[in-house]
Amino acid sequence: MSTREKLLVLLREHTGDFVSGAALTEILGVSRAAVSKHVAALKQQGYAITASSGKGYMFRDTPDLLLPDEIRHGLATRVFGQGIIDYHEMIGSTNDRAKELAAQGSAEGSLVVSEDQNRGRGRKGRTWFSTASHGICISMILRPSMNPSEASRITLMTAVALAETFRDITGLEVTIKWPNDILIRGRKLSGILTEMSMEMDRVDYVVVGVGVNVNNPADHFPAEVRDIATSLAVETGHAVSRVDLLRQFLARFESCYALVEGQGFSQIMKRWKALSDIIGRTVAVDLIGSRIQGRVEDVDETGVLVLRDGDGQVHRVISGDVLLQDL
Ligand code: BTN
């Protein structure tokens, strides 16, 4: 832990009480000037800390930001979020930045977090909308020991981790819409963009980008998605702590990942199917330039939708937009 992190832990333990400069210099083993410099840096980040000559420093409040120290505070993971957390107030796309870091050799578990994005990307070249400090825009670096053909498992597993986290936090019914949208009451709350770099038959790295609408008011969504998007605050009627949510998600994500790497994929697939209502439904899938209609027989372990059309012909759909026809 860095001196600044240790200082934060110490001050936070005594929230609402002064801790003397002398005590801090002794415990941290640094000069008074260094303590004052670290406090100034924390205040600059938005921490509410009162400094009083003679009394010392009093920690009052944490900023509502996804700062690395906040994420790490009480984070129950071994890997994800324990190394690099590359934090930004604004960035083009966290996925682009994570790919840069991964290409430079950043370790598994490294995160890129931003309060906002101005070139946030969705699947199929779409745009992901975000507004400053209302949601979560995060990308995680993974270095899985799997064959590239199995990499879609990571997206399915991320959807399970997200949906279960939202369900636990809100107590509401959360569903996964194939292939990887997370919905509440049929409206999109969260999306996943997975990108991979591979060499021959092995994965070099996977970047999993996750966008979550957390405290976005309904009227903040752009007109084109207003009827199909939602946020946790809209659904629950109250603000949700982004940092708590992110910590819970990271812990669940890490445990799902351990399952996938250790015990194969059947458990995660079972959980995915329990969260998705697509199997057995009659759907239309829009592909580029065509549309298939039929009954969903299965979603296989690579995430492929297995669809039987009216003529009994079976189609295996890798990617497309699904419309439920039997509502
Ligand atoms: C989708 O539903 O189409 C996927 C949306 C993914 C959005 C996230 S936000 C963080 C990360 N950075 C990006 O540019 N996109 C993903």
Tell me the average confidence (pLDDT) per consecutive run of 10 residues in the chain, 327 residues long.
90 94 94 94 91 92 90 95 95 98 98 96 90 93 91 94 97 92 94 93 95 93 90 95 97 96 89 92 87 92 90 90 80
pLDDT of residue 327: 65
In 3D, which of 11, 268, 277, 253 has the Cα closest to residue 136? 253
* Residues paired with 285 in a beta bridge: 292, 322
CA–centroid distance, 56 to ligand 1, in Å, is: 44
**Spacing, Cα 210 to ligand 1 middle (Å):** 5
Q: Inter-axis angle of helices 21-28 and 3-13, to 10 degrees?
A: 130
Mind listing the pLDDT tens digit for each residue in 210-267? Answer: 999 999 999 888 888 888 999 999 999 999 999 999 999 999 999 999 999 888 889 9
Taking the C-alpha atoms of residue 198 and residue 205, their distance in angstroms, rounded to an integer, is 7
Mutation test residue for ligand 1: of 94, 121, 192, the one with most atoms within 8 Å of CB: 121
Contact assessment for residue 53 and residue 18, using Cβ atoms and an 8 Å cutoff: no
What DSSP designation does 318 have? S
> 259 CA to middle of ligand 1, Å?
24
How far lies 184's CA from each of 31, 194, 199, in Å?
Answer: 52, 22, 38
| Contact of 254 with 77, CB cutoff 8 Å | yes
pLDDT at 190: 97
Question: Which segments of 144-241 does DSSP mark as H helices, in order?
Answer: 152-170, 232-236
**Residue 266 CB coordination number (10 Å):** 10
Query: Which atom from ligand 1 is nearest to the alpha carbon of 126?
Result: 3
**Residue with the nearest Cα to atom 3 of ligand 1?**
122
pLDDT at site 21:
92
Q: What is the pLDDT, as a whole number, of residue 272?
A: 95
DSSP β-bridge partners for residue 188: 183, 229
Residues contacting ligand 1 via CB (< 6 Å): 93-95, 117, 120-123, 126, 128, 137-139, 181, 191-193, 209-211
Residues 191, 128 contacting (CB under 8 angstroms): yes
Q: What is the pTM (predicted TM-score) of this model? A: 0.89
**Can you give the length of the chain in residues?**
327
Report CA(37)–ligand 1 centroid distance (Å). 37
Distance between CA atoms of residues 19 and 9, nearest Å: 12
